[in-house]
Chain A
Amino acid sequence: MTVEDIFLTLGILESYLSITIIPILSIILIIKAVKQKKRTGEWSYIRLLIIGAFLSFCWLLFWEFLFDRTNIKELIPIEIFGQHSSNFSIYNFGLLLIVTFGLTLITYANGWRSMYFTPFFVLIGMFIFFLITGFGEWLLPYIYTSAILSLIFLYITAFRIKDNGSLGLAIMFSLVLSTIIVPDLVRSFIPQIGLYLNYAYHFFGIFLATGYFNPLKKVGGGQE
């Protein structure tokens, strides 16, 4: 068995892990949200926004798996999936949904009431604009800028209120974001960097969801 074969096997295993772990994480989060609703009588909007981000991530991974590991390409053209497209596609729509939930989290946590729906208005506006004009070149700059802003906010919140949950999410989504950006930058030095990062966020996800991630001892926001 050559080194290439090992990496090939690891790549296949990673695809199966991705459609297993993130949906499980989402289900865990949903169960926690429902339990909290039963306990307190009302929904935690922060929790619902995080669930929204995770479900969007599931959507993205699900399609990625189908296009990587099945013959769905024969039924649906790969351009519609558009992982490397700079325009609207199934993949980019998933990313856009994740950053939209991330930005809404910022506005909600800061109490900017008149801006709660702004990220959704922008999403709908961009999509209608794309449907009408076919123009979507601003999509990727918007996604990356919003993603970085959301992550910075999550780190600030985590350290400000000593919240292990926010810190865990921040680290997890930093790893996810790095799987999109880093491989293109350092592929020539570390060819399998994308694979390592994918494994890293999967294992970190398990670590986070099982409640073992508690680096901040004096917790303010709690780790649930």
Chain B
Amino acid sequence: MIQEIVSTIFELLFILFCIIAQIYLNSEWKKNKNKINLILIGILFSFQCAAILTLISFFRSDLIMIFGQTLNITIFLAIITVSIELYFILYLKKLDLFYSLPIVSGFFISATLFIFKSFTFPLLYELIISSITFIFLVFEAKKNGNILLLGLGLFFLTYGFSLIGQFSVVKSFFHLIAAIFLITGISLFYNKNLLLSRKEKNNLKNMWISRMVIEE
């Protein structure tokens, strides 16, 4: 029972931090009308839905429907969120020829769970996509001098790795850590503490990921 209570607190904090991030992203959206902010709000919303379903499962596990062999709504949402992550990367790189890849890969990964009792492939999928997202965002952060991206990359990486956890408390802890990375990214913590030059600091002030995709 203690495990469920601790996990519940972690998940509630995760949801709260995501709401703060969404408010920030919404204000960015109002400023620059860049749809990347909306995509991020959507990604965070799907994470929140997954967290709410996790909370429900702590108290009423019978409410979590299972489709086929092992596909339940929580895992399905996790697959959707990882597919959105992949779409996010493709969108940032403007690889429009590959936009259907997340849908197709998500479909086949879900089908694996529908037909077989094996979590190996969804796990691999989530770990690979989360790692790719992290690596990509770190490179972009360095290239664009935008350390805010680092926070986002760490968020995706930590969230992706939370799926390895065998106990709900470990998973929820990872979720919380991921949300802390996100919040520190949004609060310009990395810019303030990792950048040494005042000039660079000034250059990056008020800079957000949307700058990457604004077409001039």
Contacts and interface: CB of A to CB of B under 8 A. Distances in A.
4 shortest interchain CB distances as A-B pairs = A114-B99, A118-B100, A121-B104, A125-B108
A103 to B, nearest CB: 12
A48 to B, nearest CB: 16
B101 interface: yes
A132 interface: yes
A112 to B, nearest CB: 10
Interface of A: 113-118, 121-122, 125-126, 128-129, 132-133, 135
Contacts of A122: 104
B112 A116 contact: no
Contact of B101 (A113, A121, A133, A135): A121
Nearest to A123: B104
A117 B116 contact: no
A24 to B, nearest CB: 33
A121 B83 CA distance: 14
Contacts of A115: 99-100
Given A121-B104, A125-B104, A114 B115 contact: no
B35 to A, nearest CB: 15
Given A129-B112, A133-B116, 5 more contacts: A115-B99, A115-B100, A121-B104, A125-B105, A129-B111
A115 B103 CA distance: 11
Nearest to A117: B97
A118 B115 contact: no
B105 A113 contact: no
Interface centre among B98, B99, B105, B108 (most CB of A within 10 A): B108
Nearest to B116: A133
A133 B112 contact: yes
Interface of B: 96-101, 104-105, 107-108, 111-112, 115-116, 121
B11 to A, nearest CB: 32
Contacts of B115: 133, 135
Nearest to A138: B111
Contacts of B97: 113-114, 116-117
Given A133-B116, A135-B115, A128 B98 contact: no
Interface centre among A115, A128, A129, A135 (most CB of B within 10 A): A129
Contacts of B99: 114-115
Nearest to A115: B100
Given A133-B112, A133-B115, A125 B96 contact: no
Contact of B100 (A114, A128, A133): A114
Contacts of B96: 113-114
B115 to A, nearest CB: 6
B86 to A, nearest CB: 12
Nearest to A114: B99
Given A125-B105, A125-B107, A132 B112 contact: yes
A64 B96 CA distance: 39
A145 to B, nearest CB: 16
A31 B200 CA distance: 58
A135 B115 CA distance: 9
A132 B113 CA distance: 12
B108 A117 contact: no
Given A125-B107, A125-B108, A132 B100 contact: no
B98 A117 contact: yes
Nearest to A132: B121
Nearest to B96: A114
Contacts of A114: 96-97, 99-100
A105 to B, nearest CB: 16
B67 to A, nearest CB: 16
